[in-house]
């Protein structure tokens, strides 16, 4: 993308919401202004909202469909604006050009086609730093590594040097080979879920099996090589499925955490699950007592499940006893949501938690008490996720709502301030699953992370939301992955632990990406690459047990109905032949 490329924000999910269609950035800013002090509670509110909104699907359905046919927007906008004002007074149609963000005249901001134009009166939406620039001119926009101090150990060897030097010197620092970016859409499962996908996980041993959870608590199992081998289990949870973990000693068994306040262990073959924990034994008594579970991890050394709720408490659960151990411990500000938990892969006793209280914290789970954290890593806003690096556990990667990805290069280094802050657009989670930067589990250098981008790109007139591959050691954007057929935002992304495969969850669909095979022009031009899509929910749908209830049938039906409609709309065909990309 050249510097002339202009930004555009897609936020049409807001169209039906309270404050009108083009206010998304504004929205956020206002929210921030008003609730800066209590943004944690705002976010957890939002979670509750989600939970409460269970069933009222309409709002949510549009969630991911960020970019409905874009040309329409311009025409609609004045009408919509009018509609809004019309609610309060008699109908007048103003044809004055006002800024859609700040409502003042003299300049225009908002969408022009696929491009969003910043309001000059607001601080940069991306880096959120004052300084007179706007999102369009934000230095972080062009080069993500702006202002980033790269990690010092950079291996400048070429692979060839590595190969021949290691033959003489033995084990030398390993090179960082060219990273294979899964940048070509291989297949998709369109509207596999009825609600937006909230989490994804690859099966630890079955190579081609992907698990997905959605906002309604539906658990999907999909073999993306045998496209039609897919199942959904709908009664594991009753609302948002936030986290999934395999029992590493028995990979037929999956633990899931949900906003319904339960932890369930499900046998993947049968779909039979049992509840290990229910934090709301007394049922719904209003949002002030309803506990939801977001963060969960599994310490396989000890057979210990670690679970954190939306009030800042950590619960320990013995897998075999299926019972809680000890009392819940407050690990984040009381009443604030704990968004993620991660056990250090090398030393599972060491736990990283992140929360809505703007902190990520490191704990020793053997000596847990309130305020016993080794370190509290301060963040600017809500921390969406925090992960240790997947192999050595030596690095930390967090995603924060202040549009920053933070990296600590070494847990024995200086942890007071992050080694790197990478500005990246992901500050948006209302009706989207929060964005989380995820490590590439197979990257031995532990530098590559993947995260969906909120801000959109003008891609031949279509607004696309790329999935970004970021080199966390330099802050460089390695690749932005997008496909003109996917106009929705992809907040949920997972890289395969062994293959060069990316799975992304975007709205209700799941997509599988593979590296583009670099073809010799002569040889493979005529070999047409086919990408395949399957539609709709699982071919079988199993509820918790054997009985099928009627609501399932209903939803199946409605889904089918929608499917056809949407299929036309989104121009998807079952196979699209010959992806003759104009640009390489």
Partner 1 sequence: MSVWNYVVTAHKPTSVTHSCVGNFTGPNQLNLIVAKCTRIEIHLLTPQGLQPMIDVPIYGRIATLELFRPHNETQDFLFIATERYKFCVLQWDGEKSELLTRAMGDVSDRIGRPTDNGQIGIIDPDCRLIGLHLYDGLFKVIPFDNKGQLKEAFNIRLEELQVLDIKFLYGCVKPTIVVLYQDNKDARHVKTYEVALKDKDFVEGPWSQNNLDNGAGLLIPVPAPLGGVIIIGEETIVYCNANSTFRAIPIKQSIIRAYGRVDPDGSRYLLGDNAGILHLLVLTHERERVTGLKIEYLGETSIASSISYLDNGVVYVGSRFGDSQLVKLNLQADPNGSYVEVLERYVNLGPIVDFCVVDLDRQGQGQVVTCSGAFKDGSLRVVRNGIGINEQASVELQGIKGLWSLKSSFNDPYDMYLVVSFISETRFLAMNMEDELEETEIEGFDAQTQTLFCQNAINDLLIQVTANSVRLVSCTSRELVDQWNAPEGFSVNVASANASQVLLATGGGHLVYLEIKDSKLVEVKHIQLEHEISCVDLNPIGENPQYSSLAAVGMWTDISVRILSLPDLELIRKENLGGEIVPRSVLLCTLEGVSYLLCALGDGHLFSFLLNASTGELTDRKKVSLGTQPISLRTFSSKGTTHVFASSDRPTVIYSSNKKLLYSNVNLKEVNHMCPFNTAAIPDSLAIAKEGELSIGTIDDIQKLHIRTIPLNEQARRICHQEQSRTLAFCSFKHNQTSIEESETHFVRLLDHQTFEFLSIYQLDQYEHGCSIISCSFSDDNNVYYCVGTAYVLPEENEPSKGRILVFAVEDGRLQLIVEKETKGAVYSLNAFNGKLLAAINQKIQLYKWMLREDGSHELQSECGHHGHILALYTQTRGDFIVVGDLMKSISLLVYKHEESAIEELARDYNANWMSAVEMLDDEIYIGAENNYNIFTVRKNSDAATDEERGRLEVVGEYHLGEFVNRLRHGSLVMRLPDSEMGQIPTVIFGTINGVIGIIASLPHEQYVFLEKLQSTLVKFIKGVGNLSHEQWRSFHNDKKTSEARNFLDGDLIESFLDLSRNKMEEVAKGMGVPVEELSKRVEELTRLH
Q: Where on the chain is the footprint of partner 1 (CB under 8 A)?
A: 149, 152-153, 158-164, 166-171, 173-175, 177-178, 180, 206-208, 344, 346-347, 350, 391-394, 410-414, 442, 444, 498, 517-518, 520, 523
Closer residue to partner 1 (CB): 71 or 177: 177
Whole-angstrom CA distances from 14 to 18, 24, 264, 431 are: 8, 7, 33, 9
Closer residue to partner 1 (CB): 108 or 532: 532
Query: What is d(CA 34, CA 111) in angstroms, rounded to the nearest whole number?
Result: 25
Closer residue to partner 1 (CB): 95 or 168: 168
* Secondary structure percentages of the chain, helix, strand, coil, to 5: 15, 30, 50
What contacts 116, CB < 8 A, 6 or more positions away?
A: 6, 7, 8, 9, 10, 25, 109, 110, 135, 456
Q: Which two tokens stand for residue 155?
A: 């291996």
CB count, 10 Å around CB of 76?
14
- Which neighbouring-strand residues pair with 277? 263
* Nearest by Cα to 361 from 335, 346, 339: 339
- The minimum distance between CB 177 and partner 1, in angstroms, equals 5
Closer residue to partner 1 (CB): 303 or 410: 410
Q: Which two tokens stand for residue 74?
A: 């311009």
- The minimum distance between CB 206 and partner 1, in angstroms, equals 7
Q: Which two tokens stand for residue 566?
A: 């949407």
- The minimum distance between CB 110 and partner 1, in angstroms, equals 42
- The minimum distance between CB 151 and partner 1, in angstroms, equals 9
- The minimum distance between CB 188 and partner 1, in angstroms, equals 21
Closer residue to partner 1 (CB): 162 or 532: 162
Closer residue to partner 1 (CB): 152 or 282: 152
- The minimum distance between CB 566 and partner 1, in angstroms, equals 32
Whole-angstrom CA distances from 41 to 18, 30, 198, 408 are: 20, 15, 21, 27
Query: What is d(CA 189, CA 281) in angstroms, rounded to the nearest whole number?
Result: 36
Closer residue to partner 1 (CB): 49 or 301: 301
Closer residue to partner 1 (CB): 373 or 462: 373
CB count, 10 Å around CB of 221?
22
Query: What is d(CA 113, CA 70) in angstroms, rounded to the nearest whole number?
Result: 7
Contact 433/451 with Cβ under 8 angstroms?
no
Residue with tokens 């999102």: 135
Residue with tokens 């799975």: 503
- The minimum distance between CB 161 and partner 1, in angstroms, equals 8
Closer residue to partner 1 (CB): 149 or 530: 149
- The minimum distance between CB 171 and partner 1, in angstroms, equals 5
DSSP state of 105: B
Closer residue to partner 1 (CB): 121 or 206: 206
Contact 379/389 with Cβ under 8 angstroms?
no
- The minimum distance between CB 528 and partner 1, in angstroms, equals 16
Query: What is d(CA 21, CA 476) in angstroms, rounded to the nearest whole number?
Result: 33
Contact 350/357 with Cβ under 8 angstroms?
no
- The minimum distance between CB 222 and partner 1, in angstroms, equals 15
């Amino acid at each position: 993308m050249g510097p002339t490329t202009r930004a555009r924000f897609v936020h049409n999910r807001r169209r039906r919401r309270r404050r009108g269609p083009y206010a998304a950035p504004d929205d956020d800013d206002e929210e921030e202004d008003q609730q800066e002090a209590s943004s944690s509670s705002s976010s957890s509110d939002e979670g509750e909202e989600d939970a409460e909104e269970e069933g009222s699907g309409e709002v949510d359905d549009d969630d991911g469909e960020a970019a409905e046919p874009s040309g329409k927007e311009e025409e609609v906008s004045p009408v919509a604006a009018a509609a809004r004002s019309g609610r309060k007074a008699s109908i007048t149609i103003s044809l004055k050009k006002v800024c859609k963000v700040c409502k003042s005249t003299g300049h225009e901001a908002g969408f022009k086609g696929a491009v969003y134009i910043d309001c000059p009166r607001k601080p940069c939406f991306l880096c959120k730093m004052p300084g007179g620039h706007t999102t369009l001119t934000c230095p972080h926009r062009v080069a993500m590594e702006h202002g980033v101090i790269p990690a010092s150990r950079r291996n400048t060897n070429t692979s060839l040097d590595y190969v021949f030097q290691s033959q003489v010197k033995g084990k030398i620092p390993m090179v960082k080979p060219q990273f294979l970016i899964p940048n070509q859409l291989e297949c998709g499962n369109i509207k596999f879920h009825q609600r937006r996908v909230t989490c994804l996980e690859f099966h630890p041993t079955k190579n081609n099996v992907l698990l997905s959870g959605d906002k309604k608590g539906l658990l999907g199992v999909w073999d993306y090589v045998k496209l039609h081998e897919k199942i959904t289990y709908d009664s594991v949870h009753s609302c948002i499925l936030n986290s999934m973990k395999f029992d590493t000693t028995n990979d037929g068994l999956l633990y899931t955490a949900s906003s319904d306040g339960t932890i369930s262990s499900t046998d993947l073959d049968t779909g039979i699950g049992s509840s290990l924990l229910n934090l709301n034994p007394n049922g719904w008594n209003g949002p002030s007592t309803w506990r939801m579970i977001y963060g969960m991890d599994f310490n396989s050394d000890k057979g210990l499940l670690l679970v954190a709720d939306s009030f800042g408490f950590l619960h320990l659960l013995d897998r075999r006893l299926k019972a809680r151990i000890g009392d819940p411990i407050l690990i984040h500000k009381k009443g604030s949501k704990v968004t993620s938990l991660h056990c250090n892969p090398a030393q599972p006793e060491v736990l990283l938690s992140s929360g809505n209280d703007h902190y990520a914290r490191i704990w020793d789970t053997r000596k847990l008490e309130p305020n016993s954290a080794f370190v509290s890593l301060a963040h600017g806003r809500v921390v969406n996720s925090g992960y240790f690096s997947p192999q050595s556990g030596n690095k930390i990667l967090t995603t924060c709502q202040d549009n920053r990805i933070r990296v600590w290069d070494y847990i024995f280094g200086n942890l007071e301030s992050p080694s790197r802050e990478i500005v990246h657009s992901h500050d948006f989670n209302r009706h989207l699953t929060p964005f989380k930067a995820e490590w590439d589990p197979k990257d031995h250098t532990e530098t590559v992370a993947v995260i969906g981008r909120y801000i959109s790109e003008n891609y031949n007139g279509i607004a696309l939301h790329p999935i970004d591959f970021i080199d966390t050691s330099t802050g460089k954007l390695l690749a932005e992955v997008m496909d003109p057929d996917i106009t929705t935002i992809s907040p949920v992304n997972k890289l395969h632990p062994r293959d060069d495969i990316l799975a992304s969850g975007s709205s209700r669909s799941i997509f599988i990406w593979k590296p583009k095979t670099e073809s010799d022009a002569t040889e493979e031009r005529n070999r047409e690459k086919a990408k395949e899509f399957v539609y709709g929910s699982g071919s079988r749908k199993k509820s918790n047990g054997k009985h099928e209830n009627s609501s399932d049938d209903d939803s199946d039906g409605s889904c089918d109905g929608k499917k056809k409609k949407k299929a036309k709309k989104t121009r998807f065909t079952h196979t699209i032949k010959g992806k003759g990309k104009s640009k390489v």
